[in-house]
Amino acid sequence: MRQFQPDTLDDIAAVNLADPATHSVLDLAGFWRVLRRDKPVYWHPAKDDKPGFWVLSKHADVLAVYKDEVNYTSEKGNVLTTLLQGYDTAAGKMLAVTDGQRHRDVRNTLLKAFSPRALSRVAERIKRNTTRRIDDALTRGEVDFAAEVADHIPMGTICDLLGVPESDRPYLLRLNKSALSSEEQDAVDSDAWAARNEILMYFLKLATERQQAPQDDVISTLATATINGERLTPHEVIFNCYSLIIGGDETSRLSMLGAVHSFIEHPGQWQAVKSGRVGLDSAVEEVLRWTTPAMHFGRVAREDVKVRDELIRAGDVVTVWNSSANRDEEVFDEPETYDLARTPNKHLAFGYGPHFCLGAYLGRNEIGSLLEVLRDRVERIEPTGPVQRTHSNLLSGICRLPVRLTPSH
């Protein structure tokens, strides 16, 4: 990636955060440093027929928006793609873009399936799947760690929980990769739109089947759940299945790939893990901070609200950038240093507040399992080809990572 080193706010204004190419081509660390220092509440000008929006880059401001349901709403979208078009078709139906009591009621329904206690039985399955994938990669020696390892671990886990048949998983993985991002620079919005609709139609069929013949899975939980004596609507069921399959796959997969790539770039940290000088718990948190797969989320202001010295008007789009907040010098010592022993680590990779990620425990478990299996079974990780980055204005990470794995003696 090309380093972008802005000197002035005029240089900042040239950057289009809504363009996926910006994030796949430029290293924006310098961009965020200037914003945090000089313009932490920044008005991003309208570009390419897309309206302008506010950009918040400081940890404290991002945290405040995440916690504030009074001044901000999620029901007009929570990512740039929907926020800039002014609406989200899933508003009031999908948990991520629902506020208030309905959000709390549906979230409580899902928490029964995603609590640490409920997921404890899944941990051993994750470990077995991860071990099998790494052993297969060690047998081959040279692999694309994305396609042959990381693509299959989170997807396998979330599909197990949802109750998706094994035969359908490659199809859903392909759709997932197109719905919020792309592996191709020339991808168009219509491809993502089509992928999202295919996922919804798939879950409509599966939810209808589970409503008639429930099983021990999350789709059945949603399809048969009642709130105040009434079942969830079909739209609520399929939109939340969509949200779970997307969220349950993307964050963990991109964090895993980022972890392996970071071991290559920071061999001292790999040795710290191998030797046991660094514990897995702190390592997982630093992987999440360092990779920050979901770069931003967003809200719309319900009414006029002042943030620092800027007045945000009712109806304005406000984006909060985890990728900047997780490198905030006021919160993290030496934030540009990859330190797997870092503690405390108040990263916002899973968001915060009422919309804190339901799958946080699951994601941590998947990343921790990967680090543990790599530590115990792999001696060296070496690059064998160029890395390819994801093409997205929401998700940050790697979609191709050719490596050679050498087994431990």
Residue 290 DSSP SS3: helix
Q: pLDDT tens-digit profile of 325-381?
A: 999 999 999 999 999 999 999 999 999 999 999 999 999 999 999 999 999 999 999
Q: What is the pTM of this model?
A: 0.94
Question: How many CB atoms neighbour CB 279 within 10 A?
Answer: 13
| Cβ count near 134 (within 10 Å) | 23
pLDDT tens string, the chain, 409 residues long: the values are: 888 888 777 889 999 999 999 999 999 999 999 999 999 999 999 999 999 999 999 999 999 999 999 999 999 999 999 999 999 999 999 999 999 999 999 999 999 888 888 788 888 899 999 999 999 999 999 999 999 999 999 999 999 999 999 999 999 988 888 887 666 666 567 788 899 999 999 999 999 999 999 999 999 999 999 999 999 999 999 999 999 988 888 889 999 999 999 999 999 999 999 999 999 999 999 999 999 999 999 999 999 999 999 999 999 999 999 999 999 999 999 999 999 999 999 999 999 999 999 999 999 999 999 999 999 999 999 999 999 999 999 999 999 999 999 999 7
Residues 91/75, Cβ–Cβ less than 8 Å? yes
What domains sit in the chain, N to C, each tagged with a CATH number? 56-402 (1.10.630.10)
What is Dmax (Cα atoms) for the chain?
63
Which token pair is 366?
């998947």
Q: Which helix or strand (DSSP H or E) is residue 41 part of?
A: strand 41-44
Q: CA gyration radius for the chain?
A: 21
Cα–Cα distance list, 242 to 20, 201, 253, 369 (Å): 22, 10, 17, 25
